[in-house]
């Protein structure tokens, strides 16, 4: 099992900044930090909380509701030999009164691991006020955090999970030799979209503190030699289905991001990427006429999500043949669908919603009026009362499990898909408030999980969070 990565004690402020950005509340009013000797000794807590005997490995969670609306109380820890992992952290109150819905009740979020000496106990009690943080400030904090997660993994070779067809002993080589541009972040597709994350944030926030490091990482990876080797790897016998469709779709998104970036370095990287970008498009073009049915899973093989990424790329790249192909396949696979069983979701390790991804795809190819009519048949249960309780966020019970942590990604992707569905409807459609309310709840829950405390989530969740907060699916070229 991968151990949570320790965060040095001086990073408490960045941890709190992260909480502030996620919850939308003002800077913390009170931070009580208490250290007591001996992990197996009695921990003295504030009188109102009493006393509790703690031992290494014990999970202690105390949730105290605040009598004052909008107040936040955080009291949770997992004691280990050398540290305390703040896994389950709770907050109460409205996220932002300007948003279409308030988050009510107790909602689980996660922070990160705080490293403390083995002979100490760390207790964190955080009380925050309810005044909203400016959206731009929150995005800047979150963006820097997500960029750091990607910077930490794009050139981290191990641990590594490769999907690799071997034809002989000579093919048993380390990841950095097999795919020299995209060998980090645990697997190939996560490395690809980790580079997309760095390019997107550096393009949108060129003055950010992480921009220079992001550009350096892109320059290190996206060389002509590295990408030529990537193309050679993909063209080897037996690799026709390599990373299809998920990884290929993210590769095309990386190409789209570089193409939209008016920057000399980005143009050079885009030229180097062109061969493998063309190859990825050709693989999709060859595959789709032979695919007789859509793939409706909640993981990498799903076609609806991949089609959305590919269609956005094709419109931006001016690939009219690909646009026509995707639109025809969408009509063939999905146009006649009705009554999607959203009540059956999620499966235990989904990171994409089959129903919401399909609706988010269809709004890309239909007029608002046509989409509204189709959606009424496809998801008839969307309420008109503006509430958010018709779709609850998923909860991860063990963030160190690489499959179970997928549900954190599901909350993030649901948020952007719900926002996309709402954007595709006519402005006066009565379902939009409920869609946006559910999106806000999932946004809050999903963003709070992107801590980097475990590599199982840290190597990929930052991409989903960046796609969400930057509105990538909403700012892509529209149908012409």
* pLDDT tens-digit map of 73-85: 333 333 332 233 3
Rounded to whole angstroms, how far apart are CA atoms 390 and 382?
7
Neighbour tally for 81: CB within 10 Å: 8
User: Which of 110-124, 160-174, 175-189, 224-238 has the least mean pLDDT?
Assistant: 110-124
Q: Where in the chain is the domain with CATH 1.50.10?
A: 135-475
Rounded to whole angstroms, how far apart are CA atoms 50 and 53?
11
* Residues sharing a CB contact under 8 Å with residue 212, sequence separation 6 or more, in sequence order: none
Tell me the torsion sign for CA atoms 233, 236, 240, 242. Answer: negative
For 326-370, how does the pLDDT look when each residue is reduced to its tens digit (9 = 90+)? 999 999 999 999 999 999 999 999 999 999 999 999 999 999 999
Which range of 88-92, 373-377, 443-447 scores highest in mean pLDDT? It is: 373-377
Residue range 310-316: average pLDDT? 98
Given a cut of 90, whether residue 18 has pLDDT beyond it is: no
For residues 162 and 60, the model is more confident at: 162
Q: What is the pLDDT of residue 140?
A: 78
Neighbour tally for 167: CB within 10 Å: 9
Reported confidence tier of residue 10, pLDDT bands at 50, 70, 90: very low
Reported confidence tier of residue 25, pLDDT bands at 50, 70, 90: very low
Parallel, antiparallel, or unpaired for β 6-7 and 113-115? parallel
- For residue 289, what are the CA distances in angstroms to 15, 238, 242? 49, 20, 18
Reported confidence tier of residue 38, pLDDT bands at 50, 70, 90: very low
Q: What is the pLDDT of residue 142?
A: 87
SS3 track for 256-309: HHHHHCCCHHHHHHHHHHHHHHHHHHHHHHHHHHHCCCCCCCCCCCCHHHHHHH
Return contacts of 43-47, CB within 8 angstroms, 24+ apart. 43/121, 43/123, 45/123, 46/125
Q: Does 346 sit behind a cis peptide bond, omega within 30 degrees of 0 on the bond before it?
A: yes
Rounded to whole angstroms, how far apart are CA atoms 438 and 87?
24
3-state secondary structure (DSSP) of residue 125: strand
Percentage of the chain beyond pLDDT 70 is 71
Which range of 103-107, 112-116, 205-209, 307-311 scores highest in mean pLDDT? It is: 307-311
Region 135-475: CATH code: 1.50.10
Per-residue tokens: 58:
């014990």
Nearest by Cα to 434 from 422, 444, 446, 447? 422
For 232-244, how does the pLDDT look when each residue is reduced to its tens digit (9 = 90+)? 999 999 999 999 9
Please check whether residue 248 is in contact with residue 283, taking contact to mean a CB–CB distance below 8 angstroms.
yes
- For residue 14, what are the CA distances in angstroms to 3, 96, 465? 21, 21, 18
């Amino acid at each position: 099992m991968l151990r949570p990565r320790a965060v040095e004690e001086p990073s408490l402020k960045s941890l709190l900044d992260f909480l502030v950005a996620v919850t939308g509340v003002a800077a913390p009013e009170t931070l009580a930090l208490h250290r007591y000797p001996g992990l197996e000794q009695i921990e003295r807590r504030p009188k109102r909380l009493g006393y509790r005997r703690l031992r290494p490995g014990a999970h202690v969670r105390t949730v105290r509701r605040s009598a004052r609306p909008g107040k936040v109380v955080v009291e949770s820890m997992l004691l280990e030999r050398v540290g305390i992992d703040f896994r389950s952290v709770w907050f109460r109150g409205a996220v932002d009164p300007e948003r279409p819905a308030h988050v009510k009740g107790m909602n689980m979020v996660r922070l990160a691991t705080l490293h403390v000496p083995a002979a100490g106990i760390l207790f964190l009690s955080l009380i925050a006020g309810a005044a909203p943080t400016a959206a731009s400030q929150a995005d800047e904090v979150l963006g820097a955090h997500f960029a750091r997660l990607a910077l930490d993994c794009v050139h981290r070779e191990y641990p590594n999970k490769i999907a690799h067809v071997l034809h002989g002993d000579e093919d048993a080589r380390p990841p950095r030799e097999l795919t020299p541009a995209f060998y980090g972040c645990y697997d190939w597709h996560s490395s690809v979209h980790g580079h997309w994350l760095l390019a997107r944030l550096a393009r949108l926030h060129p003055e950010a503190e992480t921009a220079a490091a992001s550009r350096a990482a892109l320059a290190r990876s996206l060389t002509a030699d590295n990408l030529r080797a990537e193309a050679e790897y993909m063209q080897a016998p037996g690799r026709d289905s390599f990373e299809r469709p998920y990884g290929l779709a993210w590769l095309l998104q990386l190409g789209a991001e570089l193409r939209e970036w008016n920057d000399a370095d980005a143009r050079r990287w885009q030229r180097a990427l062109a061969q493998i970008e063309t190859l990825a498009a050709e693989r999709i073009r060859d595959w789709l006429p032979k695919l007789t049915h859509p793939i409706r899973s909640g993981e990498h093989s799903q076609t609806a999500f991949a089609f959305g990424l590919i269609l956005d790329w094709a419109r931006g790249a001016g690939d009219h043949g690909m646009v026509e192909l995707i639109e025809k396949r969408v009509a063939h696979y999905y146009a006649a669908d009705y009554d999607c069983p959203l009540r059956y979701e999620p499966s235990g390790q989904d990171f994409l919603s089959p129903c919401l991804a399909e609706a988010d795809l269809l709004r890309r190819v239909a007029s608002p009026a046509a989409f509204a009519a189709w959606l009424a048949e496809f998801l008839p249960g969307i309420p008109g009362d503006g509430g958010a309780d018709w779709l609850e966020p998923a909860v991860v019970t063990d963030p160190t499990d690489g499959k179970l942590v997928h549900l954190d990604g599901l909350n993030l992707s649901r948020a952007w898909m719900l926002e996309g569905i709402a954007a595709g409807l006519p402005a006066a459609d009565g379902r939009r408030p409920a869609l946006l309310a559910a999106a806000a709840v999932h946004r809050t829950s999903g963003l709070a999980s992107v801590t980097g405390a475990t590599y199982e989530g840290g190597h990929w969740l930052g991409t989903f969070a960046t796609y969400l907060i930057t509105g990538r699916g909403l700012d892509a070229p529209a149908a012409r």
